[in-house]
Structure 1
Amino acid sequence: MAEQENGAADAATQAQAQVKLNVLTQFVRDLSFENILAQRGIGGDVQPDVQVAVNLDAKKRSAENQYEVTTKITVNSKNKSSEEPLFLLEMEYVGVFHIEGVPEDQLHPFLLIECPRMTFPFLRRIVSDVTRDGGFPPLNLETIDFMKLYRNEIARRQAETPKKADA
């Protein structure tokens, strides 16, 4: 009996060991930074209020076991006191991954949780550099909980589904 349990544990360990994830490339597909503060010539006391929105997308590429995961980030900064816009940053950051050994039913969450987690430090660095080069203090994004983001999106979609069925 103990041998069967050890065999099952070994099989589970081997299944986990078979997952293969390689980052083939990563790049900025689209980047826009608008320094509204400089365009309007607004001066004086500025206290930024920063809003960050993140969207994720994944798709299969034509090559076997290759997937493209896009992280779309929008950073909107306004002056706290006057609500006047300071800057707007929009970026699509793409990672191309070679993935093997992930069961089909786990592939979707794997692509939208683990892959963005790997590319996020690079995306964060670009946001920091662009805001600094745009005339603002470097914006260091806080770490994003991609698991929570994924779960919230699944819950949102499930909440929408009954509404569509009622219509």
Structure 2
Amino acid sequence: MAKEPQAAAADAAQQPQVKSRVLAQYIRDMSFENILAQKGVSGDPQPEISVQVNLDARKRQTEHQFEVITKLQVTSKSKEKGDPLFMLEIEYAGIFHVEGLPDEQMHPYLLIECPRITFPFLRRIVSDVTRDGGFPPLNLETIDFLSLYRAELAKRAEAQKADKPVN
């Protein structure tokens, strides 16, 4: 049985309206080492690049505000000998105002949706820093934050199983 338009509108009015916006984005910490220039590597090294991603979210003192930090560790080594070429560590943060979201949905929202919003800016910084550091610009592939979140949940579940005593 279909609802009357007025009843459907009343239901929609009762559901909380999610409000979200980015208040600020910034580099919290960054380090770039051009090891190739410091130590020198013979020949024309072909790079092998490794990227590690970690996420962190925390509530701020102001109501409905959260800081979401994407941490990248990018290392480049020569394929031939494994000599380090460069290393980039960056923590990129976004300050978000989020309200109207149920508590059980807040954690995944902060660690999936918020990093998706800031990632294009982080990608640009990584590209610029590697280029300015004397290497071809590194254009990061899009990161699947949903998969990262699910992998972290699975890792935590496994750790909890390992910590439980067996009867």
TM-score in same-fold range (> 0.5):
yes
**Equivalent position SS for 2:129:** helix
User: Which residue matches 2:71?
Assistant: 72
Percent of pairs with identical residues: 61
TM-score (norm 1): 0.93
1:1-167 alignment runs, 5 A limit: 1-3=1-3, 7=7, 11=11, 15=15, 18-166=17-165
Q: Give the ranges of 4+ consecutive aligned residues of structure 1 lying more than 6 Å apart after TM superposition.
A: none
Higher share of residues assigned helix: 1
- The one-character-per-residue Cα deviations of 1:6-49 (angstroms, maximum 9, x if unpaired) are 94697369747x11111000100000000011110113121100
Aligned AA for 2:2?
Answer: A
Q: Structure 1 CA distance, aligned partners of 2:120 and 2:73?
A: 16
Aligned residues: 166
| Structure 1: runs of 5+ lacking an equivalent | none
CA RMSD of aligned residues (A): 2.0
TM-score (norm 2): 0.93
Q: Structure 2 CA distance, aligned partners of 1:124 and 1:28?
A: 12
**Equivalent position SS for 1:72:** strand
Q: Structure 1 CA distance, aligned partners of 2:163 and 2:109?
A: 28
| Structure 2: runs of 5+ lacking an equivalent | none
**Equivalent position SS for 2:136:** coil
